[in-house]
Amino acid sequence: MLKYALKRLLGAIPTLLLVIVLAFLMVHAAPGGPFDAERVLPPETREALEAAYKLDQPLHRQFFDYLSGVVRGDFGPSYRYRDYTVSELIGSAFPVSLRLGAAAMLLAIAVGVVAGTVAAVRRNSVLDRTVMALAMTGISIPIFVIAPVLVLFLAVRLQWLPAGWSGNEGIERAILPVVALALPQIAYIARLTRASMIDVLASDFIRTARAQGLGTAAIIRYHALKPAMLPVLSYMGPAVAAILTGSVVVEEIFGIPGLGQFFVRGALNRDYTLVLGVVIFYAALVILLNLVVDILYGAIDPRIRRR
């Protein structure tokens, strides 16, 4: 198992390096610069600023200097938040994004697995068709449409929930952002669970369990649920990536002080180091979580390790 995990870890390093290279080149290829503003700076002031942040050096030299800092865990200073480093900004905002994403992921898994299992057990029934229709709707509607619609109906018209975010004013302010972020993943997980559960319920060992007199609930709990969760587990990596990218939109809509807001503001302000830091941090987190999923998948199914 350790050998399998080390192989997966070594395979993730080139992926992260490629992400750093592409992100660095794309950010520096964007028009404008971090010191472009409505007020035109005097040439000597611009030159002094570029020299202070080493932007006057050749691009390849800037990249290797930046890469050496990333290896040490230093993402450099922010160009716009002058009194903070990028690492400090990420450290202050990530706990908020982590709580939001973890709550959305737990909600998506709980509701999606239950909905998919019920649909598989009641296959071709009205309940099954309803669940799948709702799942297809959740997949089709983008998150930047779902979030404003939830705010319009649940917060503005019905006034059941507050529309804004505040970490110190009760859990009810987190309900709308969490639900908006979780809805697309509930739909995907429900469809995956249904398809996988139908295949498992048609297996020979399930027929043997039925012949022994076990009820449907006991069969699902003790025999069918674990093998049916393998496709869902393999989807956890892309699901986490979707939630992380979706949280950028949700945080901006609800005014959540997480990494999403820093990413948007950094892009608008051409804050190279802030945008790069958030992108690399997200990429490393996604790669790490995919690695954890691969290891868990190998632990559940020994055939993966042997392969």
Please, what is the average pLDDT of the chain? 81
All structural domains of the chain: 86-306 (1.10.3720.10)
Q: Report whether pLDDT(179) > 70.
A: yes
What's the predicted TM-score (pTM) here? 0.77
CA distance 184 to 141: 8
Note whether 150 and 138 are within 8 A (CB). Answer: no
* Angle formed at CA 88 by CA 168 and CA 22, multiple of 5 degrees: 115
Q: How far is CA 186 from the centre of its chain?
A: 14
Q: What is the mean pLDDT of residues 274-299?
A: 81
Q: Looking at 61-75, 206-220, 289-303, which range is the least confident one?
A: 289-303
Of 6 and 142, the one with more pLDDT? 142
Note whether 187 and 139 are within 8 A (CB). Answer: yes
Of 255 and 2, the one with more pLDDT? 255
Q: Report whether pLDDT(114) > 70.
A: yes
- Nearest C-alpha neighbor of 86 from the set 139, 34, 152, 22: 34
Residue 156 identity = V
pLDDT recorded at residue 145: 85
pLDDT recorded at residue 5: 67
CA distance 307 to 304: 5
Cα torsion 245, 250, 253, 258: sign? negative
Q: Looking at 47-51, 240-244, 269-273, which range is the least confident one?
A: 47-51
Q: Report whether pLDDT(60) > 70.
A: yes
63-83 confidence digits (pLDDT tens): 888 888 888 888 888 887 877
Q: What is the mean pLDDT of residues 81-87?
A: 83
Q: Which two tokens stand for residue 153?
A: 């109906």
CA distance 304 to 294: 9
Q: What is the mean pLDDT of residues 130-155?
A: 84
The beta strand positions in 81-157, using DSSP E, are: none
Q: Report whether pLDDT(32) > 60.
A: yes
Q: Report whether pLDDT(205) > 70.
A: yes
